[in-house]
Amino acid sequence: MKDIIGSLIFDSSLESIPELRAVALADRHLIYEGGGIVLDLLLKNQDEGTCIHIGGQVLPEDSACTSVSDLQVLMEQGASRVRTHTNALGEFSFRAVQNGTLDLAIILKDRRFIVRGLSNNEPRMWKVVSAIHLGGNPQ
What is the reported pLDDT for 67? 84
- Would you call 62 exposed, middle or buried from its count of C-beta atoms within 10 A (0-12, 13-18, 19+)? exposed
The DSSP result for 108-124, as a single string, is -SSEEEEEEEE-SS-GG
Nearest to 53 by CA among 7, 99, 15, 114: 99
Pairing of the two strands 7-11 and 2-5: unpaired
Global pTM reads 0.78
| 91-124 pLDDT per residue, tens | 999 987 777 888 999 999 889 999 998 877 654 4
Question: What domains lie within the chain, and their CATH numbers?
Answer: 2-125 (2.60.40.10)
